DNA sequence: TGGACAGGCAAGTGAGGACTTGCGTATCGT
DNA sequence: ACGATACGCAAGTCCTCACTTGCCTGTCCA
């Protein structure tokens, strides 16, 4: 299992999580074009590598269908963050 | 205000937050020796620079008293993380 | 079945980050 | 007052990471 904290360190990866929260099950090209509308000018390969990191961190799941690869969000690893440094009961 | 996510990306900085949660208001030397017991062999300057990053992220507050500098934990910036990608109510 | 589309793989490059090194400053004890 | 302590500052080194470049594989449509 990869590092969840390092996965969240990059602003482009956080924007990808934002995008997947608005609309789940998006392909790589969909995510690329939608990132452009958010002001991120990332190439296809760059976005693909970011999704690799997010997948290794357990934050994104990949599902291959034909020539499309759909990506879905999984926010369960984020619970460990606030559970680790608990502010109140 | 610095980047909270980048501050959490380093394992040494996370260990510093762990240490401050166990015992608040520690000096730099206290944190250095306690990190050694956790297996982190970081120099004094390295720990000081890590605390700089944590302070800029709003996770650590510094208070100078004489020749000692006490560090205290502030976990309030962590709320923004789970609030951003909300899993359930 | 040829070509366009969607995506993967791997080496190379450039910038930022973690750490060191060396020196300087202020504070406390004796 | 002198040395030891606790810490800050700044330049330099090394290494990780994000991104590019180039090429390859597999899938759908006409």
Domains and CATH numbers, chain A: 4-84 (1.10.10.10)
Instruction: Name all protein residues with C-beta less than 7 A from any atom of nucleic acid chain D.
Output: A 6, 9-10, 12, 41-43, 45-46, 49-50, 53, 65-67; B 27-29, 44-45, 48, 62, 67-69
Query: How many pairs of residues across A and B have Cβ atoms under 8 Å apart?
Result: 53
Residue A11 Cα to chain centre, angstroms:
11
User: A16-44, pLDDT tens digit by residue?
Assistant: 999 999 999 999 999 999 999 999 989 99
Per-residue pLDDT band at A61 (split at 50, 70, 90)? very high
Q: Is the pLDDT of residue A82 over 90?
A: no
pLDDT given for residue B87 in this prediction? 62
Q: Which residue, among B45, B74, B39, has the nearest Cα to B59 in the 3D structure? A: B74
Q: Which residue, among A20, A80, A44, has the nearest Cα to B85 in the 3D structure? A: A20
- Copy the structure tokens of residue A83: 């559970």
> What is B24-86 written as a DSSP string?
-SB-HHHHHHHHHHTT----HHHHHHHHHHHHHTTSEEEEEETTEEEEEE--GGGHHHHHHS-
User: B68-89, pLDDT tens digit by residue?
Assistant: 999 999 999 998 888 899 765 5
| Chain A residues touching B75 at Cβ < 8 A | 85-87
Residue B41 Cα to chain centre, angstroms:
16
Q: Is the pLDDT of residue A87 over 80?
A: no
Best mutation site among A2, A7, A8 for testing chain B: the one with the most B CBs within 10 Å?
A: A8
Q: Is the pLDDT of residue A80 over 90?
A: no
User: B4-52, pLDDT tens digit by residue?
Assistant: 999 999 999 999 999 999 999 999 999 999 999 999 989 999 999 999 9
| Chain A residues touching B6 at Cβ < 8 A | 9
Tell me what the mean pLDDT of segment B1-5 comes to: 87
């Amino acid at each position: 299992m990869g590092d969840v904290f390092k996965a969240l360190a990059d602003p482009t990866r956080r924007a990808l999580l934002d995008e997947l929260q608005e609309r789940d099950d998006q392909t790589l090209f969909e995510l690329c074009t939608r990132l452009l509308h958010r002001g991120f000018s990332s190439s296809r390969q760059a976005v693909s590598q970011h999704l690799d990191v997010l997948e290794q961190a357990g934050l994104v799941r990949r599902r291959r269908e034909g020539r499309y690869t759909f990506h879905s969000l999984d926010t369960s690893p984020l619970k460990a963050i606030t559970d680790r440094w608990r502010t109140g009961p």
